[in-house]
Amino acid sequence: MEKHWHDACGVFGIYNHGEAANLTYLGLHSVQHRGQESAGIVVSDGRRMRSHLGMGLVHDIFDHETLAKLPGVHAIGHVRYSTSGSSELKNAQPFFVDTVHGPIAFAHNGNLVNAAELRRRLEEQGSIFQGTTDTEVIAHLYARSKEDKLIERLIDALRRVRGAYSLVMLVEKRLVAVRDPHGFRPLVLGKVKDSYVVASETCALDLIEGEFLREIEPGEMLMISSKGLESLRPFPPVEPRHCIFEHIYFARPDSVVFGQSVYNVREAFGRELAREHPVEADVVVPVPDSGIVAALGFSEESGIPFAMGLIRNHYVGRTFIEPEQSIRHFGVRLKLNGVRGVLQGRRVVVVDDSIVRGTTSQKIVKMIREAGAREVHMRISSPPTCFPCYFGIDTPTRTELIASSHSVEEINRYLTSDSLGYLSREGLRKATANGPYVYCDACFTGDYPVPREDPPGPPSC
Amino acid sequence: MEKHWHDACGVFGIYNHGEAANLTYLGLHSVQHRGQESAGIVVSDGRRMRSHLGMGLVHDIFDHETLAKLPGVHAIGHVRYSTSGSSELKNAQPFFVDTVHGPIAFAHNGNLVNAAELRRRLEEQGSIFQGTTDTEVIAHLYARSKEDKLIERLIDALRRVRGAYSLVMLVEKRLVAVRDPHGFRPLVLGKVKDSYVVASETCALDLIEGEFLREIEPGEMLMISSKGLESLRPFPPVEPRHCIFEHIYFARPDSVVFGQSVYNVREAFGRELAREHPVEADVVVPVPDSGIVAALGFSEESGIPFAMGLIRNHYVGRTFIEPEQSIRHFGVRLKLNGVRGVLQGRRVVVVDDSIVRGTTSQKIVKMIREAGAREVHMRISSPPTCFPCYFGIDTPTRTELIASSHSVEEINRYLTSDSLGYLSREGLRKATANGPYVYCDACFTGDYPVPREDPPGPPSC
Amino acid sequence: MEKHWHDACGVFGIYNHGEAANLTYLGLHSVQHRGQESAGIVVSDGRRMRSHLGMGLVHDIFDHETLAKLPGVHAIGHVRYSTSGSSELKNAQPFFVDTVHGPIAFAHNGNLVNAAELRRRLEEQGSIFQGTTDTEVIAHLYARSKEDKLIERLIDALRRVRGAYSLVMLVEKRLVAVRDPHGFRPLVLGKVKDSYVVASETCALDLIEGEFLREIEPGEMLMISSKGLESLRPFPPVEPRHCIFEHIYFARPDSVVFGQSVYNVREAFGRELAREHPVEADVVVPVPDSGIVAALGFSEESGIPFAMGLIRNHYVGRTFIEPEQSIRHFGVRLKLNGVRGVLQGRRVVVVDDSIVRGTTSQKIVKMIREAGAREVHMRISSPPTCFPCYFGIDTPTRTELIASSHSVEEINRYLTSDSLGYLSREGLRKATANGPYVYCDACFTGDYPVPREDPPGPPSC
Amino acid sequence: MEKHWHDACGVFGIYNHGEAANLTYLGLHSVQHRGQESAGIVVSDGRRMRSHLGMGLVHDIFDHETLAKLPGVHAIGHVRYSTSGSSELKNAQPFFVDTVHGPIAFAHNGNLVNAAELRRRLEEQGSIFQGTTDTEVIAHLYARSKEDKLIERLIDALRRVRGAYSLVMLVEKRLVAVRDPHGFRPLVLGKVKDSYVVASETCALDLIEGEFLREIEPGEMLMISSKGLESLRPFPPVEPRHCIFEHIYFARPDSVVFGQSVYNVREAFGRELAREHPVEADVVVPVPDSGIVAALGFSEESGIPFAMGLIRNHYVGRTFIEPEQSIRHFGVRLKLNGVRGVLQGRRVVVVDDSIVRGTTSQKIVKMIREAGAREVHMRISSPPTCFPCYFGIDTPTRTELIASSHSVEEINRYLTSDSLGYLSREGLRKATANGPYVYCDACFTGDYPVPREDPPGPPSC
């Protein structure tokens, strides 16, 4: 189920390709699931940089005409998460400005834990801010750096920030890709013929028939220029801490993220979940689309047949309204409907990736019962999310997370399910096990790899 | 895979409800999969009728403001199929006109086989036509009828037409629902509290928490008025001939259509397919979304594990463009991507509902091989489609249907698959077996229940 | 002052020109003052006809792309008047339909006095109506005619209608222009190189650098085809009755209408007005733009200096809103403002073309006084409008016309002006005098050349 | 004739009014003639500030809904000039940012002569720029000021800039209005009941029924707060240098600008012009709308009758296109048309306010001759514009100004007019004579009150 509980943005960049804007458009389309609020592309023809940004989906913002006005051979692009509140064009990215070093554009996926503090200090030094993104903070730090060289200025800026950042930066003739030392968010390097490509997920490479070379590594700064690739390691090494929620929910199953197939990891979550919380049942039903792969793993391990007992209506777009006068609140019914032919008279295991507030899950349980299910057993392919994420965006506060203040049994009662089982942290570790555990799972443990410095504040990307 | 090879429209109607327009909006959202080109709602407050129609998706056409301008207690709505060519606002429905008998609105799902002939005759008598829909023909026949009573006029009109029609009609104080004698297209009757509802599929009742009462029967004309329901059988009885493609592809799996759960029938197709065309393989992969349920049936019967080896990008909307200069044609890649973690090194059974021209299927085979599959076995959950449909819309001509001129083995070579198996007509019959076979399957057999009278012509609904 | 009290539509047609749609676009732009609600163009390439219509101004509806989709060598176009109420796309013109005789398009400026009656009869014969225009009535009559030839069918249809019509009709290879026997509305014939052009006003010829040949004469039916011009006189001759309001208000001053320069006639109105209602004053001020030319005539004749003492804000468009919460109603202030440097301490003669309800004029008097005028003398370049117009559109009912129930002295008191003078019918006659009086001035006299048959009804064009 | 040769922006501000956004909307509508590219409003409710900006006309950008989302009691607004090239949303104003001192918004009309130099220095200190307006420079200077108090910071910032600025600034609870020491651009103070208002022109006060109190004086900084008005004179006094083009072309004739009625001054230009360049002629015709008032003065002085011999089509909007394939370039014909009834056989004096490149004037001469004029005498109500303006915006370079390289006689030959006369600088002085000459007329003389420091660069406001 889509949750918007901590979302992610998506980035894309391409160097030295005759159709840079077109391929960026396609790349953004591939990572559209990472953000639907706004999108933008900045191109460079080696001398002049141009941009086009807008609110909405990539295919609503760009058409033949707008793409034709973006000539150039290098480009970066960005898609931003979707929430109702703070959505404004001035927060759209790439963030594109003039500095003393010339025009520069930044596309950023992540969240800084000291952005508010840095912003305050920058404002004290006379900086002005038009939006509320962390990206604007990074741009100011870069512009204020006294270093001579672009790469030194960027290092200077990034040494001041703490938190999660997978960042792509474009100047006239160079493209830089950086990942924070912990490597919270994914960022991969690929190639389309002779052109280097960077993207949030490998599925963006697949669409443009590119080759996946490798991940940008945690703490790596990769400069792409006419000289080719130049890799730097400007930060002291720390242990990697990849966001486990990329595997649980964010990334597309057809992507390879943090060295592993998202599909395979997600399926393994389901298998572990079946081992940990077995139940006598007739059918395993996913909450589509996010619960499908884990549900398949659960079915496989448990031997209980898998069925698509909930059908998703994919036509719920940004502009869908709930009729005003209506006394009922339709909510999840607008998106999902139970299949009586699958559910009637059955003992149903329903698999979802996580529970945030619990309200949606409660409605799903009710919907499955209304379709005739005899029993409804809820299985969640991740541990209880008890702590807000400081490295993603749009985090509910702790009090909004039902698991922060309720036991599993209490949640089960709230959902009105017959049983409820969460995957354990141990199960999570096993499922991802290919060596030491390299994930940030602070949302389950409260054990943040980087301490929060800012007070809770506005969302960012 | 979406094919637009013969599509369907969707209709909805509600009588005597304080939020008639709002519920119609929701009902149309539920049947949005039946048509994405245009949509419209006509309401009546018992005296005055009002309409709003537009191009695009229901949620793009209607918002709080437009719905607020549709006061009334009775309403009908329509969604129209999507093709690029003949899409025009003047073909949007409901078709709403003034006649000597007052204002009247028609929403129609189907296709007449003598529409062109009727149109010619009506034009000879001086009628003028603004659009190209069959609905306009029905409206003219109704307006020209000399009968005194509304219901007699409608009978008079419908006795002149031949073909498929599931029709909903609204006048100031009455709503009429009719299904053609063969019952080609579905149409159901439900209830929301005290208000009667008609809809193309039961999933529309589910969303508004309505109760499914029964189907409007083939040849039945149901008048809903302040006196309640009145059912008429004005046509000589004939054998039912339901469109088998509703079960194969059109209808939503969560609907009950022609008395059977679409999900269950579609799953049975998959099981029969596995029996008819077994293959040694490692994984069964559906072409999403239309192939999923049949693939589950195939997996169940064959014991070969099911996996979502193709991931669908749901953000491909009407406005999505393929960048102009690009030398490559992206086509199905924009919608689907293979999951290497599922496909690599595997012998893959890929299940789709049908093949039209073969070009898309060919690209899917290629995509699966590129993701590392060792073998690709294509299985189709319906027989070869060799004949155009005269009762649906937007039918390719016979020459465009690859199966009309190629053997299965030739098609297999064209697709570059390792093997290809279609469900037999026998298997189809078995899977739907609940008594005598009541389906129209002329697209497989050329055995049309109603002979075509018109020359091939413009699309309609 | 713009009054919308009886407005006019504008038509344009061109035969055999390589840029038919482009020139029609320009022609409609030239007659945009005759209608701002909707516009449309229908083209024919000799075989196929295509259309594009929309709501709003010509330049908002058409762009390079839409014009490029209108290939063809013959075209007609239409602009429709603007009111808030009944504005709907389905009333936009040209009215373009299929008939037994093939596709046909009509663009019409005028009003029939027996449209409702004809519509009732047509509906009784089974015709259906989608909009509320008189044009649709004419199209039905044409389609129902049993005559063999196009021109005979059109004659047949027009013999049944009574009222005002300046009509342009396009079929695949022919263009027909007709004016009703009285010649209420203007229609002219011109030439651009070898291509014939028809238009509501000569200013449309000026823009496209066309040559003004002559008026289509009252009762003339002119067929333009590959054989050249063919002129018919199918109606019994009657006395011409040109709408005097074309000279008073509708037509652009740079047009020649009914054989006379609008500018010169309007100026003569002002001179007569000065003779009839002299006043001691310091300055003559027009209500822009419609009062300017008459005010110049008044100034010339009276010797009182002319000044632009009221400035018009031309940025008041269709979408201009009056802020909601505001306690004041801004009305005419949004359009006009007084020039203190002109008005302060002066005795002002303010010249307008007509008074409808009196509310606007009252505000103008107040505005002039607030700008410091010592005296305000209102002079109107036409007689009191006491009767609604049946031959135009959007007519206020009689009770809304202040002059229908108030004496000049009473109106003067209502306006709070120091004096009020209307041009007499005698003066009107003198100013237009070039032979016998050929005008319809029923709005002043109630002496309608064609009796009204329909009850008051919906607006048309 | 509209020239876009040096345009102006418009500003508006209101303090302490319950409908601040609504009145600002109306105020911007009144100064819409000063800029049609973009518009914006920023409001403050005393604690929180909100903004809405967009491209296009005020009434296209704002509607009931957007205004309702701008609650607050203080507001400022801005309209920006219109050119095709550099038009971008990020240059729209008010410029609204967060600083260490809190949120602040600037609306600015003018042009700095050292903006590029300041921008370079600010960038060197690490500032980043998103747009190309001078306003962004002022905002940075303000944000970087070390002064404690808002007013001191603003003084600190403005002491660094040189050039023309009429600036309105809004913070949570205060509104500041400043005019540069020379007072290049107008800025007036008014009152609506108890609320202070500032605006570019007095016509904005008229619309909202406000009272004109006085001009903000050159070099004055006026702070409006809960304490009332506070006036400061932070700059060394210099001689006033009001832009003479406000009287010649920019300002609306119903405004009082620089202490004089624009109408009266413009009329005086015409009278002086008649004295300096008398001619035997039959009619004086203005180029509408900008030449009307001067033409009236010319007519009055010369005794030659005035007539509206050129009619303007006001429907030429931003989106108007010239059909692509057309071999002719329509240009000024789309806007103007000659009145044959006025011009035929006449000796015509045509009065315009200025000549920039000469191409438009040449077409006007041709148009008048084609309408039958025997002689065409061009009279210009200002001296030859030989020098670009550094204090306005969108200035053509010197080489584009025909008068910079051609004598009056050469220009006359180029225009193909029978004679050409420009108002002399002496005449200009006489016409504006109410004491010493207080105008900047560098565009005629090259005698810039403030030396240009920047190289020619991008347009600003």
Closest chain A residue by Cα to residue D54: A89
Q: Which residues pair with C96 in a beta bridge?
A: C105
The string of DSSP letters for B225-285 reads ETTEEEEE--S------EEHHIIIIIS-TTSEETTEEHHHHHHHHHHHHHHHS----SEEE
Which one, of A157, A161, A155, A222, lies nearest residue A188 by Cα?
Answer: A222
> Which positions in chain D touch C328 (Cβ < 8 Å)?
209
Strands (E), C60-148: 74-80, 95-99, 102-112
Q: What is the dihedral of CA A371, A372, A377, A382, to 10 degrees?
A: -10
Residue A435: partners with Cβ closer than 8 Å, 6 or more residues away: none
How many Å from the N-terminal Cα to the C-terminal Cα in chain A?
21
Q: Chains A and D: how many Cβ contacts under 8 Å?
A: 63
Q: Determine contact, residues B92/B135, Cβ cutoff 8 Å.
A: no
Q: Check residue A393 and report its DSSP letter.
A: B
Among candidate residues A9, A243, A389, A440, the one labeled active-site is A9
Closest chain C residue by Cα to residue D56: C315
- Touching chains, D (3+ CB pairs < 8 A): A, C
How many Å apart are CA C118 and CA A80, to the nearest integer? 59
How many Å apart are CA C454 and CA D49, to the nearest integer? 58
Which one, of A238, A145, A221, lies nearest residue A438 by Cα?
Answer: A238
> Which positions in chain A touch D145 (Cβ < 8 Å)?
126
Give the closest of A120, A129, A140 to D97, CB-based.
A129
Give the closest of A97, A100, A127 to D130, CB-based.
A97
Residue A47's pLDDT band, with cuts at 50, 70 and 90, is very high
How many Å apart are CA C28 and CA C32, to the nearest integer? 6
> Which positions in chain B touch C98 (Cβ < 8 Å)?
123, 128-130
Q: Structure tokens of C410?
A: 């009473």
Least confident of A106-120, A410-424, B369-383: A106-120
> Which positions in chain B touch C145 (Cβ < 8 Å)?
126
- State the average pLDDT over residues B214-223: 98
Q: What is the ipTM of this complex?
A: 0.93
User: What CA–CA distances, in Å, run from C343 to B436, C306, C358, D410, D431?
Assistant: 93, 12, 22, 41, 20
Q: For residue D344, with 0-12 CB atoms within 10 Å meaning exposed, 13-18 middle and 19 or more buried, which class applies? A: middle
Q: Is C129 close to B98, i.e. CB distance below 8 A?
A: yes
Q: Determine contact, residues A33/A252, Cβ cutoff 8 Å.
A: yes
Give the closest of B57, B334, B340 to A315, CB-based.
B57
**Cβ atoms within 10 A of the Cβ of C341, count?**
23
Residue type, position D461, single letter: C
Q: Determine contact, residues A170/A94, Cβ cutoff 8 Å.
A: yes
Q: Is D128 close to A120, i.e. CB distance below 8 A?
A: no
Q: Determine contact, residues B159/B200, Cβ cutoff 8 Å.
A: no
Residue type, position B20, single letter: A
- For chain D, list residues whose CB is within 8 angstroms of any CB belonging to chain A: 89, 96-100, 120, 123-130, 139-140, 143-145
Check residue C126 and give its pLDDT.
Answer: 94
How many Å apart are CA C253 and CA C250, to the nearest integer? 9
Check residue D405 and give its pLDDT.
Answer: 94
Q: Is A97 close to D145, i.e. CB distance below 8 A?
A: no
Kindly report the pTM of this predicted structure: 0.91
Shortest Cα distance, chain A CAs vs residue D121, angstroms: 8
> Which positions in chain B touch A337 (Cβ < 8 Å)?
30, 203, 206-207, 252, 254
DSSP H/E element including C402:
none
How many Å apart are CA B278 and CA B294, to the nearest integer? 14
pLDDT tens sequence for chain C (461 residues): 434 444 579 999 999 999 999 999 999 999 999 998 899 999 999 999 999 999 999 999 999 889 999 999 999 999 998 543 345 788 899 999 999 999 999 999 998 999 999 999 999 999 999 998 999 999 999 999 999 999 999 999 999 999 999 999 999 999 999 999 999 999 999 999 999 999 999 999 999 999 999 999 999 999 999 999 999 999 999 999 999 999 999 999 999 999 999 999 999 999 999 999 999 999 999 999 999 999 999 999 999 999 999 999 988 866 666 665 554 567 788 999 999 999 999 999 999 999 999 999 999 999 999 999 999 999 999 999 999 887 754 556 788 899 999 999 999 999 999 999 999 999 999 999 767 889 999 999 999 998 877 765 544 55
- State the average pLDDT over residues D387-394: 70
Shortest Cα distance, chain B CAs vs residue C84, angstroms: 15
Interface test with A, best of D61, D128, D148 (most A CBs within 10 A): D128
User: What CA–CA distances, in Å, run from D133 to A181, A200, D111?
Assistant: 38, 35, 9
Q: Which residues pair with B178 in a beta bridge?
A: B167, B221
Architecture of domain C265-445: 3-Layer(aba) Sandwich (3.40)
Residue A362 pLDDT greater than 50, yes or no = yes
Tell me which fold the domain D257-445 belongs to.
Rossmann fold (3.40.50)
Q: Is C333 close to D207, i.e. CB distance below 8 A?
A: yes
Closest chain D residue by Cα to residue C321: D63
**Cβ atoms within 10 A of the Cβ of D427, count?**
22
Phi/psi for B95 (5° steps) reads -85, 115
What positions of D carry a catalytic annotation? 9
How many Å from the N-terminal Cα to the C-terminal Cα in chain B?
22
Q: Is A120 close to D100, i.e. CB distance below 8 A?
A: yes
Give yes or no for a cis peptide into B289 (omega within 30° of 0): yes
> Which positions in chain B touch A254 (Cβ < 8 Å)?
311, 337-340
Q: Check residue A400 and report its DSSP letter.
A: G
Burial readout A79-91 (b: 16 or more C-beta within 10 A, e: otherwise): bbbbeeeebebbb
Burial readout C282-312 (b: 16 or more C-beta within 10 A, e: otherwise): bbbbbbbbbbbbbbbbbbbbbebbbbbbbbb
Residue type, position C91, single letter: N
> Which positions in chain B touch A293 (Cβ < 8 Å)?
308
pLDDT tens-digit readout, B38-72? 999 999 999 999 999 999 999 999 998 899 999 99
Q: Report, in angstroms and rounded to the nearest whole number, the Rg of chain B calculated over CA atoms.
A: 22
Give the closest of B98, B128, B129 to C123, CB-based.
B98
Q: Determine contact, residues C10/C22, Cβ cutoff 8 Å.
A: no
Which one, of C110, C257, C263, lies nearest residue C188 by Cα?
Answer: C257
Residue C102: partners with Cβ closer than 8 Å, 6 or more residues away: C171, C172
CATH 3.60.20.10: which residues of chain B? 10-240
Interface test with B, best of A65, A329, A337 (most B CBs within 10 A): A337
Tell me the H-state helices in A147-284.
150-160, 203-207, 244-245, 262-276
Q: Determine contact, residues A138/A157, Cβ cutoff 8 Å.
A: yes
Q: Is A323 close to B262, i.e. CB distance below 8 A?
A: no
Check residue A89 and give its pLDDT.
Answer: 83
Q: Is A124 close to D100, i.e. CB distance below 8 A?
A: yes
Q: Structure tokens of D456?
A: 């020619």
**Cβ atoms within 10 A of the Cβ of B409, count?**
10
How many Å apart are CA A412 and CA A421, to the nearest integer? 9
The string of DSSP letters for B146-206 reads --SSHHHHHHHHHHH--EEEEEEEE-SS-EEEEE-TT--S--EEEEETTEEEEESSTHHHH
Shortest Cα distance, chain C CAs vs residue B89, angstroms: 10
Q: Is B143 close to C130, i.e. CB distance below 8 A?
A: no
Residue type, position C301, single letter: E
For chain D, count helices (H), then strands (E).
15, 23
For chain C, count helices (H), then strands (E).
15, 23
Residue A313 pLDDT greater than 50, yes or no = yes
pLDDT tens-digit readout, D163-192? 999 999 999 999 999 999 999 999 999 999
Q: Is A128 close to D143, i.e. CB distance below 8 A?
A: yes
Shortest Cα distance, chain B CAs vs residue A100, angstroms: 34
How many Å apart are CA B141 and CA B326, to the nearest integer? 50
Helix pair B115-124, B134-144: axis angle to 10 deg: 50
Residue A83's pLDDT band, with cuts at 50, 70 and 90, is very low
Architecture of domain A10-240: 4-Layer Sandwich (3.60)
> Which positions in chain D touch A143 (Cβ < 8 Å)?
123, 126-128
Q: What is the largest CA-CA distance in chain A?
A: 72
Residue B459 pLDDT greater than 50, yes or no = no
Q: Check residue A158 and report its DSSP letter.
A: H
Q: Is B320 close to A29, i.e. CB distance below 8 A?
A: yes
The residue behind tokens 């007689």 is C383
Q: Determine contact, residues B328/B363, Cβ cutoff 8 Å.
A: no
- For chain C, list residues whose CB is within 8 angstroms of any CB belonging to chain B: 89, 96-100, 120, 123-130, 139-140, 143-145
Residue C287: partners with Cβ closer than 8 Å, 6 or more residues away: C1, C310, C336, C350, C351, C352, C353, C364
User: What CA–CA distances, in Å, run from B103 to A187, A318, B142, B226?
Assistant: 61, 35, 12, 18
How many Å apart are CA A240 and CA A182, to the nearest integer? 4
Residue A248: partners with Cβ closer than 8 Å, 6 or more residues away: A266, A269, A353, A354, A381, A382
Tell me the H-state helices in C176-257.
203-207, 244-245
Q: Structure tokens of B7?
A: 């599509």
Q: Is C254 close to D339, i.e. CB distance below 8 A?
A: yes
Cα D263 to chain center, whole Å?
A: 16
Q: Structure tokens of A433?
A: 């096990």
How many Å apart are CA D147 and CA D154, to the nearest integer? 9
